[in-house]
Structure 1
Amino acid sequence: IEHIRGSEFEFRQLDIVEPFYVDEPVDFVYHAASPASPIDYLRLPLHTLKVGSYGTHHALGLAKKHRARFLLFSTSEVYGDPKVHPQDESYWGHVNPIGPRGVYDEAKRYAEALTMAYHRQQGVDTAIVRIFNTYGARMRPHDGRAIPTFFRQALADEPITMFGDGSQTRSFCYSSDLIRGIIALAESGEHDPVNIGNPGEFTLMELAKTVIDVTGSKSEIVHQPLPKDDPQQRRPDITRANQLLGWEPTIDLRDGLQKTIELAGREGLMG
Structure 2
Amino acid sequence: MSDNKKQQLHISEVTSNDSIAVTAMMDGKKVEISCTYAELTDEQKAFLDVNYGNHYLPVELITMEVDGEMVPVTFQGQNSVLQVVVVNPDGVFKFENILIRKTTLPGEKTFHLINAVSTLGIRFNRRRGVRVNVDTRMELEQGEEKFVILVREISYCGFSFINLSQSDVDINKPFIFNLIERDGDKSFSYGKFIGKVHRTEEQKSGPTIYGCILADKHADQLQKYVAMKQLEVLTGKKAFAEDIQKTSNSDRWRAEVADALGDTLIDNSAENTTENEN
More strand by share: 2
More helix by share: 1
- With the length of structure 1 as denominator, give the TM-score of the two structures: 0.29
- Asked which structure has the greater CA Rg, the reply is 2
Larger RCO (CA within 8 A; separation ≥ 6): 1
- With the length of structure 2 as denominator, give the TM-score of the two structures: 0.28
